Amino acid sequence: MFARKVAARLKPNTLKEFTDLMAGEILPWLRKQEGFRDLIVLAARDGMEVAAISFWDYEANAQAYQASGYQEALEILAQFLDGPPYVKTFDVVGSTFQSIILAPLTQKQENPAQETGASQSSYHSYETSV
């Protein structure tokens, strides 16, 4: 499992329109993309910052979206953004979502040929220092 986090600052008083557009246009389009699993959209309490975390079966699926659809999604959302978004990618190594299959800690999943069949109920916890 692979995740992309896109974080951005919003223009003042645009959170409602941003989330409506995400739910009405972006999410239905994402659901049609190969390997797309889920989307979580987070907003700061002041409504000035958002983060969207998308989950993909494989890194290759997320890369295909980055190459083909991400720019289009950015153009649709640009009217609400106060600057360019920040994108970071992750291997999913811990989750309580029942439908997520975790990437093994020792091997990256980049395509279906590398599928490992990790248990859906696995959960790994990690401590990190900042």
Placement of tokens 């190594």 in the chain:
93
Whether residue 51 contacts residue 63, with contact meaning beta carbons closer than 8 Å, is answered with no
Residue 24 lies in a domain: yes
Residues 110 and 68: their CA atoms lie apart, in Å, by 17
Residue 110 lies in a domain: no
Collapse the DSSP code of 4 into the 3-class scheme (helix H, G, I; strand E, B; otherwise coil) and give the result.
strand
Residue 21 lies in a domain: yes
Q: Which of 117, 121, 111 is nearest to 58 (CA)?
A: 111
Helical (H) or strand (E) element with 61: helix 59-68
> What pLDDT was estimated at residue 100?
59
Half-sphere exposure of 71 (CA within 13 A, CB side): 3
**Number of compact structural domains in the chain:** 1
What's the pTM?
Answer: 0.75
> What pLDDT was estimated at residue 123?
32
Domain span holding position 39: 2-104
Residue 6 lies in a domain: yes
Residue 68 lies in a domain: yes
> Which residue ranges of the chain lie beneath pLDDT 70?
98-130
Q: Quick: pLDDT tens for 48-81.
A: 999 999 999 999 999 999 998 899 999 999 999 9
